[in-house]
Structure 1
Amino acid sequence: METIRLSHLNNAFRVEGNEKRRNLELYSISVQEWPAGEATLKLVVVDEKDVPIYSQPLSPSQQSEEISIGKNFGFYDHLSVHLRTEPEGSPFQAQVHFK
């Protein structure tokens, strides 16, 4: 399993396709710092043509620090994973766990 840290300064990562990798399994997201006030946080997965193919609002849970995603995405060229805030630029810190 791999982990990448995202924040309001670096809110996305891109996975390139190759002979060994043609899918991305998102396991979970651990949010260390939630956006303040009324700001919201959303997970968005974007395909090769910059079209959103999956979106999930994220919210704090008192049951666990980790938010389970459990989704698998197939792709050919590349796939991008974004954590977006509304309003844009609201500070946050999170780790995305994937394989």
Structure 2
Amino acid sequence: MSQYLNLLGLAQRAGKISLGEDNILNDIRSNQATLVLIASDASSNTRKKLTDKCHSYQIPYRIVGNREEISHALGKYDRVAAAIKDEGFTKKFLQLIDD
């Protein structure tokens, strides 16, 4: 499970991630997001908002880990979602998460 968290930190340092609900929604709308990761303990409201938007724009998403794991991997405080903005990272994430 921790491999994708390492990759999340790497993607963050590479500047290929957007954080914050509004930024993520904007990236989905503008088709910049290639994958959205949502913490398993995100509020049902946040989860619904992000997953509905992903469905509308056909952006893949995954429910992963919890806010503590995601926040730690990103080196940020209290993060429940992240949008990946890079095809290469997305491909690797899906490989690690779906296996």
Q: TM-score, normalised by structure 2?
A: 0.31
- Structure whose residues are more often strand by fraction: 1
Larger RCO (CA within 8 A; separation ≥ 6): 1
- Structure whose residues are more often helix by fraction: 2
Q: TM-score, normalised by structure 1?
A: 0.31
